[in-house]
Amino acid sequence: MVWIKFTEIKKALNELLKGRYPPPQYKIYGKEIKEGYEPPCFFTEVLDRGSRAETRNFARGGFTVKITYFQRKKDELDQLEKADGIKDLFGLIFCVGDRRLTVSEISCDYIGEYQDILQVSIDIDYRENTQKEDTGAVAREIGVEVTQG
């Protein structure tokens, strides 16, 4: 069983953003940064939505990616362009390593004291194969005795 790792998701997310919004013009920060960041910049985070077994061999999981955009100067047109650009980046599929994950929903909202900071949320669903590999020895020979009775 190979569960998708949140560190891989975060790395894929940041690389995707860097491709469209390259440094040094745009910086990408994690949620641990509270002050000293330089706009324009993005803050990214990955939120687990949990997982559950569906069958003996499969589980369903999901997570939400949040991208928050801070501008140097408030500009609604720029925010809308960033929202459209991020939607285009994700489309229907989000690639993490060799996996292709389904984007189930993308939504935009405004957060902050004045509701003027763009935040894009992307919900992603996936299935995991939970079947365990057999670790026992494989039989090489089978002995069969037939008796009449």
129: left (phi over 0), alpha (psi -120 to 50) or beta: beta
| 81 domain residue, yes or no | no
**What pLDDT does residue 2 have?**
59
| 134 domain residue, yes or no | no
| 146 domain residue, yes or no | no
**What pLDDT does residue 3 have?**
76
94-142 pLDDT tens trace: 999 999 999 999 999 999 999 999 999 999 999 888 777 767 787 788 8
Q: Residue 11 sits in a domain of what CATH number? A: 3.30.2000
Short-list 69, 35, 31, 24, CA closest to 47 = 31
The rounded radius of gyration (Å) of the Cα atoms in the chain is 23
The whole domain housing 41 covers 6-69+93-129
- Counting Cα atoms < 13 Å in the Cβ hemisphere of 73 gives 1
